[in-house]
Amino acid sequence: MAPTIHYYCPCQSGESVQTPPPPHMASSSASFHPLHSLFFCEECDAVRCNRCVSVEVSGYYCPNCLFEVPSASVRAEKNRCARNCFSCPICRSTLQVVASDPPDGGDGRPSVSLSNVGEPPFFLYCNHCRWDSAEVGITFEKPTGLAAQLQKFEDSAPESLEFERLKEHFEPFLRTSSLSSLSHVPSTSSHHLPTSSATAAASAALARDVPGVGKYNPLARSRVGRDRTANKDEMPEYKSRMEIGVLGQLGSEGDSSDVEALRRMESAEEIASLEQRWGNSWTTSLRTSDLRPLRIPLHSKVSKRCPSCRHILIKPEQKAQSVRYKIKLVAANYLPAMTVALPHTQGADATRRPQAKVPSASDDRNAGAMMAGKSYPFHLALTNPLYDPIQVRLSVQRMHVTAATNSTAPEKARRTPFAVSLPTSSFPVAAFAEAWEYDDDDDMFGLEDDELGLEMGRTRDKDGKGKVKTVGVLEKRANVTVVGGEVVIGKEARGHVKFNMLVSYTYRSDDPLPSEDGAGTPSRTVAKTPEVKTFTFYTVVDLGPILPREEKLDPDI
């Protein structure tokens, strides 16, 4: 596996703790993300991730016909495509509408040459597994508006009718109580994540007492009588249209008939798998032969907001298939992009494989592993996305001393199985310029590659003695600076060479200084000159697995 570098989003840790968990803890992986999946809030001056942003639907579309469904009709159409898009009940591929075959000419060939649109009845047909809807008795006289024809069946299902009745029953109550509850926000929504009005209303609704259902409350027992009488005034009792048992028999046949059906089955394929039944809105029969085509569920485009200041971070264009955004505040436009590489694997690749071949995965794995008890140089390439040059300083996050002292001696040895050296002084990364985008002609890159080759050669040569040379700035070109680091792996080391790295960079800011620094910006400090700002963030660097020494010896025995 190639070495990776991921970026820290502080949302998983508490308000007070801004340092990430140690890299070897399982919880650590939840806090680190690839740079390209992160956002950046300019207001808070902070990194945000998909786990912490609040999301709002900005539009619905069918992923198959790409029709943009107006929000108003999404509910009536039950969140599924209301045109001609269905998924196969057997393999969940998309179904096609096809015409019936003309009469057989006798030898499997058509008796007359086919030239027209086709003849009814039409049916749905799966290109992948060859299921067709005529198998379950669904055919159409016209090849259009199929969903509308099928939705009639859906809507007349007893479960659907019951649900509609339930909604009708609760509607007046919901309307009155939502009006009254909007004024006072219940305590449960004082959660630190602010929410949109829609989610606030939903959580308010969820926090309300449900009439007839006792809300769990240790004190409630004494008051339960009072609550009931209060609610009874508002709510008449609901009577279902049919008995629960009857309903079960209509859909999934009920327990005893299911058992009976299972007794008579001869192969596992006769039972619909959980996956095949999962997408259904209502309970369905257990038998594969009863499965119906499903209208394809809609997808949505979403806007994303900063969880603390509600500033919008992502706002897509209205058109469903547009990949452009009206607002797109991604971390990659603010933080330097970093890649990490182990030159000893690259050197091997470049010399061993002169043919035009991409190194295969197995080769990579062997070459990428590091031996316990040895030291390895590594390269960090930083690319500056800003239009101003930056000064970068790197440092390795120390392991928690308290944790180390509390643990026993062998554990302590495992906690620091390797030592990482990084350049101690800060170094510059030149500003990004649009012009470099066009400088991608062969000559320039050929030259760069040669230089890089020399550089790698040099570091390799001095690996034995001049170790100092591997640490420091190795190369500068355009808005990229490559620095070298080194890892010394202990003899008893196990696991991965994985460490948290603190990156801080200073840049010249065009904005006037904000009057106050909010609580959400503890990582940023203002330097003496007012135009210079410093931003600090954590990353985790994974250089790859350590091969224990024993393993290496094994083949020799």
Partner 1 sequence: MDVPVYYSKAEFIETDTGNKVSRRATIAGPQNIILGGKTIISSGAIIRGDLRRTGPGHAVVISLGRYCLVGEGCVMRPPYKTYRGNFNYYPMKIGDYVHIGANTVVEAATIGNHVVIGKNCVIGKFTIIKDCAQVADNTVIPPNTVIPALALFSGSPGRFIEDLPESTQEMVESQTKQYYSRFQPLER
Partner 2 sequence: MASGRDDEQMRHADDENTGDITIGPGTVVHPKATIFAIAGPIVIGSGCIIEEAAIIVNRRKEVMRVGDNNLFEIGCRVECPSVGNFNTISTRARVHHTVRISNYCVIGAACLVVPTDDETLDDYTSIFGPAAERRIWSGRGRIQEADLRLKHAEYLREMLPKFNRLRRGDGA
Binding positions for partner 2, rule: CB under 8 A: 90-91, 98-105, 108-110, 113-114, 118, 123, 125, 128-132, 134-135, 269
Q: Are 544 and 3 in contact (CB under 8 A)?
A: yes
Name the H helices within 353-441: 361-368, 401-406, 409-415, 435-438
Q: Of the two residues 387 and 445, which places its CB atom closer to partner 1 in the complex?
A: 445
448 binds partner 1 (CB under 8 A): yes
> Please, which residue, 3 or 211, has the CB nearer to partner 1?
3
| 225 membership: H or E segment, kind and range | helix 220-234
- Residues sharing a CB contact under 8 Å with residue 111, sequence separation 6 or more, in sequence order: 102, 103, 104, 105
Asked if 195 and 203 touch (Cβ cutoff 8 Å), the reply is yes
Could you give the maximum distance between any two Cα atoms of the chain, in Å? 93
- CA-wise closest residue to 475 among 457, 496, 452: 452
Question: Which residue in 440, 476, 436, 432 sits closest to 455, CA to CA?
Answer: 476
Which one, 101 or 451, has the nearer CB to partner 2? 101
482 binds, among partner 1, partner 2, none (CB under 5 to 8 A by kind): partner 1
Nearest to 24 by CA among 403, 530, 447, 528: 403
Write down the least CB distance from residue 267 to partner 2, Å. 10
Token representation of residue 326: 């009206």
Measured between alpha carbons, how far is 430 from 389 in angstroms, rounded to an integer? 5
**In the complex, minimum distance from the CB of residue 100 to partner 2, in angstroms, rounded to a whole number:** 7
Q: Residue 118 or residue 530: which is nearer to partner 2 going by CB?
A: 118
Cβ 189 to partner 1 shortest distance, Å: 27
CB nearer to partner 1: give 56 or 159: 56
Task: Please give the residues from 73 up to 92 whose contact with partner 1 meets the rule CB under 8 A.
Answer: 91-92
Q: Is 93 in the site for partner 1 (CB under 8 A)?
A: yes
Taking CB within 5 to 8 Å according to partner kind, which of partner 2, partner 1, none is near residue 315? none
b/e map 129-150, b = 16+ CB within 10 Å = eebbbeebebebeebeebbeeb
d(CA 355, CA 38): 37
| CA angle, residues 463, 466, 472, in degrees to nearest 5 | 90
Q: What are phi and psi of 314, to 5 degrees?
A: -130, 125
- If binding is defined by CB under 8 A, does position 98 make contact with partner 1? no
CB of 334 within 8 A of CB of 39? no
At 483 the three-state DSSP class reads strand
Task: Map the footprint of partner 1 across residues 317-336, applying CB under 8 A.
Answer: 320-323, 325, 328, 330, 332
Out of partner 1, partner 2, none, what residue 551 binds, judged by CB under 5 to 8 A for its kind, is none
Residue 120 backbone dihedrals phi, psi, to 5 degrees = -70, 165
Helix axes 146-155, 158-183, angle to 10 degrees: 80
Min dist. Cβ of residue 87 to partner 2 (A): 14
How far is Cα 438 from Cα 55, in angstroms, rounded to an integer? 36
Binding mask 396-435 for partner 1 (x = CB under 8 A): ----------------------------------------
274 binds partner 1 (CB under 8 A): no
The listed partner (partner 1, partner 2, none) that binds 299, CB under 5 to 8 Å by sort, is partner 1
Cα Rg of the chain, angstroms: 32
Residues 466-485 that bind partner 1 (CB under 8 A): 480, 482
The answer to whether residue 299 forms part of the interface with partner 1 (CB under 8 A) is: yes
- The distance of closest approach from Cβ of residue 485 to partner 2 in the complex, given in angstroms and rounded to an integer, is 43
Fill in the per-residue mask, 109 to 148: x = in contact with partner 1 (CB under 8 A), - = not in contact. ----xxxxx--------xxx--------------------
Nearer of residues 116 and 529 to partner 1, judged by Cβ: 116
**Strand 32-33 relative to strand 39-41, pairing:** unpaired
Structure tokens at 278: 């999962």
Which residues have a Cβ under 8 Å from the Cβ of 455 and sit 6 or more positions away? 474, 475, 482
Q: Phi/psi at 538 (nearest 5 deg)?
A: -100, 150
Q: Is 514 in the site for partner 1 (CB under 8 A)?
A: no
Instruction: Report the nearest approach of partner 2 to the CB of residue 511 (Å).
Output: 54
Give the per-residue contact string, 25-64, with partner 1 (x = CB under 8 A; - = no): -----------xx-----------------------x-xx
Scanning residues 334 to 363, which ones bind partner 1 (CB under 8 A)?
339, 341, 346, 349-350, 353-358
Residue closer to partner 1 by CB (options 156, 355) is 355
Interaction partner, residue 65 (partner 2, partner 1, none; CB < 5-8 Å by kind):
partner 1
Tokens 């080769």 sit at which residue? 363
- Residue closer to partner 1 by CB (options 320, 372) is 320
* Interface with partner 1 (CB under 8 A): 36-37, 61, 63-66, 91-94, 96, 113-117, 126-128, 299, 314, 320-323, 325, 328, 330, 332, 339, 341, 346, 349-350, 353-358, 379, 381, 440, 442, 445-446, 448-449, 452, 480, 482
